[in-house]
């Protein structure tokens, strides 16, 4: 549905987006993940034809974003960051205006208006002035606008920013339900959002794609293998030596060496691929007579992954700059 190849955007001296390429299949929900200033919004603005790319191309629903901009815009709904609305208008009035802008005729406009107001839980406020609405309702009005002309592609820039937890949950549920019928791209710097909502994540940092895949794939990627944490009363170096010899253990790292916490030492182990080392480790520790307090498999969160890849990227760019 969306295909991006070698897309770049340069503002003066700064490269905001650097030759990114990706594909989004029809009906997928894709999360665009990255720290602030990573180039998420710029990419989305290029996809929605607000900004033209410096180089590279992209097609949305089969139309080129540069040469067939009007067709692309007819096919997508875009919710910009912070959800700008005409605050002096009433909700219904605003949606009606947006419908006219998209060239919906009267009958179509009325039926779609009813549908989106119902869909985005706006029935109570449909006759209220937008400036009197809470942030959560404003966001829903924005979403309703995006859905108004029933576009195959939805582009949402940070759709849950500034909402309270209840509203965030509702919004995510709505987006979740929209997947399948619509192709959704949403940007966020909130990780649980990607895990909760998206079929696939594209991690972007410094204007480049640093990783992509399903949340599970990202979590399972080599760098982020699960660790086994062992906590027992033993001298740190001896523990390390003993655990190193357990079959299947790739590396052992002493996290805390017992001086702080009454001689309890914590070690973090990484297994070779395909091994579950927990039983062996427990047996070894017991055999050596060390009192074992805890042994636990630590699953990597996407958060750690995110911090790691984006930190790497930042490091790479500073090194590049120094050289």
Partner 1 sequence: MSNKKSAKRFVLVWILLPFGIYLVVATIWLLVGVASGTALPRLVSQGRMLAVLLWVYYGCLVASWLLKSLAPRGLVISRRELSSYFYSPIAYVAMTLFLLATGFLFWSDFQPGQIAGMRSLFEWMVWLLVFVIPVLSMGLMSQEWSTGTVETLMTAPLSEIDVIMGKFLGSLCFFLVLLAPTVVYVILLGAYSRPSFDVGPIVSGYVGIVLVGALFIAIGLFCSSLTRSQVVAAVAAAAILFIVTIIPKWASEKATLPKFWRTVADQLVFRRYADFSRGVLDTGHLVFFIAATAVFLFLSVKVLESRRWK
What is the separation of C-alpha 11 from the centre of its chain, rounded to a whole number of angstroms? Answer: 25
Q: Using the rule CB under 8 A, is 74 a contact of partner 1? A: yes
Region for residue 263 given its phi and psi (left: phi exceeds 0; alpha: psi -120 to 50; beta: otherwise)? left
Per-residue contact string for residues 136-165; x = within reach of partner 1 by CB under 8 A: ---------x--------------------
Q: Which stretch binds partner 1 (CB under 8 A): 94-102, 228-236, 276-284, 292-300?
A: 94-102
Q: Shortest distance, CB of residue 282 to partner 1, whole angstroms? A: 57
Q: Does 30 bind partner 1 (CB under 8 A)?
A: no
Instruction: Report, in Å, the least distance between residue 32 CB and partner 1.
Output: 17
Residue 249 bridge partners (DSSP): 271
Q: Does 82 bind partner 1 (CB under 8 A)?
A: yes
CB of residue 176 to partner 1, shortest distance in Å? 24
If binding is defined by CB under 8 A, does position 251 make contact with partner 1? Answer: no
Single out the residue of 52, 62, 114, 291 in contact with partner 1 (rule: CB under 8 A): 52
**Residues 80, 152, 179, 248: which binds partner 1 (CB under 8 A)?**
80
**14/25 Cα distance (integer angstroms):** 31
- Binding to partner 1 by residue 48, rule CB under 8 A? yes
Contact pick of 40, 102, 182, 227 for partner 1 (by CB under 8 A): 102
Classify 254 as helix, strand or coil.
strand
Closest to 39 in 3D by CA, of 185, 245, 204:
204
Report the distance separating Cα 80 and Cα 142, nearest Å.
9
CA 265 to chain centre: 36
**Where does this chain touch partner 1 (CB under 8 A) — which range of 50-58, 170-178, 209-217, 299-307?**
50-58
Distance CA(26)–CA(96), nearest Å, equals 28
Give, in order, the Cα–Cα distances in Å from 77 to each of 73, 158, 174. 7, 14, 15
Contact region with partner 1 (CB under 8 A), list: 16-24, 87-95, 237-245, 290-298:
87-95
Least distance from partner 1 to the Cβ atom of residue 257, Å = 53
Contact partners, residue 135, CB within 8 Å, separation at least 6: 162, 163, 167
Query: CA nearest 74: which of 170, 182, 151?
Result: 151
Q: Based on CB atoms, which residue is closest to partner 1, 8 or 266? A: 8
Residues in contact with partner 1 by CB under 8 A are 45, 48-52, 70-71, 73-74, 76, 78, 80-82, 84-89, 97-98, 100-103, 145
């Amino acid at each position: 549905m969306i295909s991006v190849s070698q897309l770049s955007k340069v503002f003066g001296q700064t490269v905001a987006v650097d030759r990114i390429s990706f594909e989004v299949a029809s009906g997928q929900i894709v999360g665009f993940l990255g720290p602030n200033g990573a180039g998420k919004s710029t990419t989305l603005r290029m996809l929605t034809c607000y900004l033209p790319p410096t180089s590279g191309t992209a097609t949305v629903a089969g139309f080129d974003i540069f040469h067939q901009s009007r067709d692309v815009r007819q096919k997508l709904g875009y919710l910009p960051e912070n959800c700008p609305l005409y605050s002096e208008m009433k909700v219904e009035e605003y949606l009606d205006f947006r419908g006219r802008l998209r060239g919906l005729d009267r009958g179509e406009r009325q039926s779609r208006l009813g549908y989106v107001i119902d869909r985005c839980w706006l029935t109570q406020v449909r006759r209220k002035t937008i400036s009197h609405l809470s942030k959560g309702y404003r966001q829903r009005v924005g979403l309703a606008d995006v859905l108004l002309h029933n576009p195959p592609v939805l582009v949402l820039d940070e759709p849950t920013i500034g909402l309270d937890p209840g509203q965030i949950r509702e919004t995510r549920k709505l987006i979740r339900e929209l997947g399948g019928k619509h192709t959704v791209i949403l940007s966020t710097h909130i990780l649980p959002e990607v895990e909760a909502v998206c079929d696939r994540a594209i991690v972007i940092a410094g204007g480049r794609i640093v990783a992509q895949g399903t949340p599970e794939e990202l979590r399972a990627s080599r760098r982020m293998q699960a660790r086994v944490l062992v906590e027992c009363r033993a001298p740190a170096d001896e523990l390390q030596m003993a655990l190193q010899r357990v079959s299947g253990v790739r590396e052992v790292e002493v996290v805390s060496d017992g001086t702080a916490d009454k001689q309890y030492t914590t070690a973090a182990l990484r297994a070779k691929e395909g091994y579950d080392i927990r039983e062996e480790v427990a047996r070894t520790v017991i055999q050596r007579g060390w009192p074992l307090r805890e042994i636990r498999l630590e699953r990597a969160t996407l958060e750690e992954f995110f911090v790691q890849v984006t930190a790497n990227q930042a490091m790479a760019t500073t090194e590049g700059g120094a050289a």
